Each structure stands twice: as C-alpha cells, then as structure tokens.
C-alpha cells in the first residue's frame, strides 16, 4: 500500500498532535515547546538540511510519547522529575518499532540523561540526544518553577547536567531572538508550523507513520488496535473479491486504518466495560465517529475521510451520526460497514465471548435482510468467510505479538540501563 498520496507529510505530523491531544493536551503542548527549542538549537548549531531539521523537530515533539503508555499523564511532575526511565524506554521502543525514525528514535532513551553521563556514549546521534535533553530540562523546570526560574540555575550545571554547546546556542538565541518570549506569547507555533513544511516522508514512510497512529489507539485499549487490524484485512479481502481497482483499494485501506481514532477520547472504563453501557455512556461511545471526523478533516484525502466516518451508517438510515441512506453511500463505505460489524462480533470483549462463525453469519444475514447492510458485500464475505477471517486473525495476532515483543524489549532495556 506504499503508493499513497492521500495525506501530506506535514499533515501526518499535525494529525499525530491532534490525536494525542485527545488524551492529554498539556503533554502535547510540552512536546511542541520542546520540539521547537530542540529544532532551533540544531539550526543554530548548523550542518542540517531543512528537511532534517523538520524531522528532528517532529521527533522532539514526540519525545514523551511513551508516557501515554507508562504513566498517569496528569501527574506531570512525578514522571518528568522522578520516574523518567519507563516513559523514556517505551517511547524509544514505540518509535523504533513503529515509525520511520529508525535509529534516531534512540535519542528518546537519553532525553533525561545528564550530559556527563553521555560523554562516553557510542551513538551516532549523541549530540542530538544532548540537545534534546537540554530542551526538555529547560521547559520542564521553567514550567515547574514559573517566576522562580532563571537560566542562571541551569548555568550552574553546564558541563555536568547540560551540554555546554547547547547552553551556548540557547543563550545566543535568547539574546538575539528572545526565544523564551516567543514561547510565552505563542509565536513559536508559527515557526514550528513553518519548518514542518519541509517534512518529506516517502510514501512507505507515510504508511508506517499512519500505522503508528493506529497503534496509538493502544494507549486507550489494545483491543481497539486489534479491531482496526482486523477491519483493515477484512476490507482488503473484500475489495479484492469485489473487483476494486488500485485507487479504490488504497482509499479503503486508509479509511479503515483511521476509522476509529476518535476512540482515544473515550474513557477506557467505557471502552472496556464488562456491563451494559448507560444511555449517556453509549452516546459518549458513539461520539468517537464525530471526533474522528473532526481530527481527520482538512488533514486527510476527503474520500478516505468519507469512508472512515461512515462505518456506523446503515442503508436504511438507522445508523449514525448522519442517518445516511443507501443512495448516499458508496461501495467502499458499505464494505467498511460490514467489516466493522464482523470485527465487533468476532473480537474479544469484556462483556461477551466472540461469536462463532454460525452466529456471525446469522447476524449478518439478519442485518442484510433487514436492509441495513449491503447484500453484495455480505454475500461476498459469507462465501469466503473461512479464508477471509483466517487471514484477518493472523494479522490481528501479529499486532498483539508486536506489543508482546515491545514488552520484552522494555524489560530488557530497563535491566541494562
């Protein structure tokens, strides 16, 4: 699926920010400030192309991504000052395994390490790690100490905690551009937004990055990642059998990939509830579709967006959020609707056991005969049910295997540090 031009590199980065804001906007704001200071320090140092600065800025904004998995992100002071190792390790592993950043992701492993401890580090991006550590400390202590903060406090530890070169470049920026004031008045956002115009991911890197967004849903519930993977591969198999052309397949793939990202805003105790939801809770659960649309709008190709946000619509107008009818829905939307139903029926849920093949087909037939889902799509799925679901199960199990692999790597890295 790597031949993808349905979203720009810059919009992928912005989409990541939008998505993570659903979990904790304060943590994202901290990431943006650190990413900005980090990028400006590297720019001042020199020797980087614009696209390299843009990618380092992106990495800087994501430096705390591991905290969404390992910490209570509301307790900012605790995990940024006292419990730094877990989120540093997990963030490194998350980006190493799921993003286009490759070995550069390792800088996250060191973003709380003192300069002196990094002196003998055999790492190609040690300088970048030192600069990121300075940018992180600057924003954390400035945020914690507020009016009591002074750069003199950091100056005392230059050469031990902080890179002399990074401190020197920062002071130059402070003198000539008043960089702290730009952070305070918010004008730094425009500069950060400008440098992101130079992000240049290949189509394959874009696909990897969008899959990373899907895996971000694991911060809310690992079940939702498995669901998304299952839906993707059911859609892919149905599209092949229904004779979709390459362009149609790709748009369906990316619509399915991102269709549930609004779930990140839904509390985990509702997503994973083992009881029947109250009407208020069910309305909150349903709101994930509108949230997904709000996030994807103006970021993603419009046709991919329309596919993603119609997965709970039904042909008879009984679906949501718009109550659309068959004549308003295209074939790709109808495919994702069926795939999403099958995923929900056959997946593991706290409140029910997975449906058997016979139970699933019975429910699909009932929906189809009731005029709620496409007969053509339903017939195609039932005809090849065993093969389609076998492939989807293999892929969803692989996604869980990746989580297990990262858990093992997490323990291994933690033991070595």
Ordered mean pLDDT values, 10 residues apiece, the chain (417 residues): 73 92 91 98 97 97 91 64 78 90 94 91 95 96 89 94 97 96 96 96 88 84 85 96 95 93 86 84 92 91 95 97 97 98 88 90 97 98 96 83 79 72
Looking at the structure, tell me whether residues 177 and 264 fall in a common domain.
no
Cα separation of 58 and 76, whole Å? 21
- Quick check: 60 and 93 in contact, CB under 8 A? no
Nearest to 41 by CA among 137, 118, 148, 156: 137
Looking at the structure, tell me whether residues 132 and 250 fall in a common domain.
no
Q: Quick check: is 209 in a domain? A: no
Looking at the structure, tell me whether residues 100 and 188 fall in a common domain.
yes
Q: Quick check: is 214 in a domain? A: no
Residue 3: what are its φ and ψ, rounded to 5°? Answer: -80, 70
Looking at the structure, tell me whether residues 348 and 249 fall in a common domain.
yes
Q: Quick check: is 211 in a domain? A: no
| First CA to last CA distance, the chain | 38
CB neighbours of 190 closer than 8 A, spacing ≥ 6? none
Q: Quick check: is 414 in a domain? A: no
DSSP state of 235: H
- Whole-prediction pTM value? 0.90
Kindly give the interhelix angle for 84-98 and 203-216, rounded to the nearest 10 degrees.
140
CB neighbours of 270 closer than 8 A, spacing ≥ 6? 277, 281, 284, 285
User: How remote is the C-alpha of 54 from its chain's centroid?
Assistant: 18
Looking at residue 3, its pLDDT comes to: 46
Q: Quick check: is 208 in a domain? A: no
* Residue entry with tokens 């800025």: 57
Answer with the one of 136, 168, 201 that is the final residue of a domain.
201
CATH number for the domain including 373?
1.10.3210.10
The b/e string for 221-237 (b: 16+ C-beta within 10 A; e otherwise) is: bbbbbbbbbbbbbbbbb
Q: Quick check: is 4 in a domain? A: no
Looking at residue 2, its pLDDT comes to: 47
DSSP state of 317: S
Nearest to 260 by CA among 303, 301, 229: 229
Q: How many domains does the chain contain in total?
A: 2
395, two tokens: 């892929």
Looking at the structure, tell me whether residues 300 and 345 fall in a common domain.
yes
Looking at the structure, tell me whether residues 237 and 385 fall in a common domain.
yes
Looking at the structure, tell me whether residues 194 and 229 fall in a common domain.
no
Q: Quick check: is 413 in a domain? A: no
Looking at the structure, tell me whether residues 181 and 315 fall in a common domain.
no
- Quick check: 92 and 110 in contact, CB under 8 A? no
Q: How many angstroms separate the Cα of 76 from the Cα of each of 24, 68, 279?
A: 11, 11, 33
The domain in which residue 275 lies consists of: 220-406
Looking at the structure, tell me whether residues 233 and 144 fall in a common domain.
no
Cα separation of 105 and 242, whole Å? 40
Looking at the structure, tell me whether residues 239 and 105 fall in a common domain.
no
Q: Quick check: is 57 in a domain? A: yes
Looking at the structure, tell me whether residues 47 and 152 fall in a common domain.
yes
* Residue entry with tokens 């198999």: 237
Looking at the structure, tell me whether residues 132 and 232 fall in a common domain.
no
Answer with the one of 143, 174, 201 that is the final residue of a domain.
201
């Amino acid at each position: 699926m790597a031949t993808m031009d349905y979203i720009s590199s810059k919009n992928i980065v912005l989409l990541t920010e939008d998505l993570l804001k659903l979990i904790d906007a304060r943590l994202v704001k901290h990431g943006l400030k650190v990413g900005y200071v980090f990028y400006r320090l590297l720019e001042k140092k020199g020797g980087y192309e614009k696209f390299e600065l843009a990618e380092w800025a992106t990495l800087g904004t994501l430096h705390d991504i591991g905290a969404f998995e390992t910490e209570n992100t509301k307790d900012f002071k605790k995990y940024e000052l006292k419990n730094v190792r877990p989120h540093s390790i997990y963030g490194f592993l998350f980006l190493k395994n799921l993003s286009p950043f490759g070995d550069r992701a390792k800088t996250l492993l060191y973003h709380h390490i003192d300069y002196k401890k990094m002196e003998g580090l055999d790492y190609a991006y040690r300088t970048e790690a030192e600069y990121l550590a300075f940018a992180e400390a600057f924003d954390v202590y400035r945020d914690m100490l507020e009016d009591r903060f002074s750069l003199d406090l950091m100056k005392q530890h230059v050469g031990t905690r902080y890179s002399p070169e990074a401190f020197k470049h920062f002071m130059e920026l402070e003198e000539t551009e008043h960089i702290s004031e730009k952070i305070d008045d918010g004008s730094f956002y425009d500069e950060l937004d400008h440098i992101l115009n130079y992000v240049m991911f290949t189509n394959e890197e874009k696909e990897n990055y969008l899959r990373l967004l899907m895996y971000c849903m694991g911060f809310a519930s690992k079940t939702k990642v498995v669901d998304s993977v299952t839906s993707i591969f059911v859609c892919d198999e149905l599209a092949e059998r229904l004779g979709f052309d390459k362009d149609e397949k790709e748009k369906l793939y990316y619509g399915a990939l991102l269709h549930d990202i609004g779930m990140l805003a839904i509390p985990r105790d509702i997503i994973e509830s083992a009881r029947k939801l109250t009407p208020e809770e069910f309305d909150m659960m349903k709101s994930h579709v509108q949230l997904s649309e709000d996030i994807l709008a103006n970021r993603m190709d419009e046709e991919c967006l329309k596919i993603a946000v119609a997965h709970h619509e039904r042909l008879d107008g009984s679906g949501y959020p718009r109550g659309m009818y068959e004549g308003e829905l295209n074939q790709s939307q109808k495919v994702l609707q069926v795939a999403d139903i099958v995923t929900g029926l056959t997946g593991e849920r706290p409140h029910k056991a997975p449906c058997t093949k016979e139970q699933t087909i019975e429910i699909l037939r009932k929906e189809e005969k009731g005029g709620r889902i496409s007969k053509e799509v339903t017939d195609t799925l039932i005809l090849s049910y065993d093969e389609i679901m076998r492939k989807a199960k293999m892929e969803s199990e692989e996604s869980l295997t990746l989580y297990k692999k990262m858990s093992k790597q997490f323990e291994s890295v933690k033991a070595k540090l």
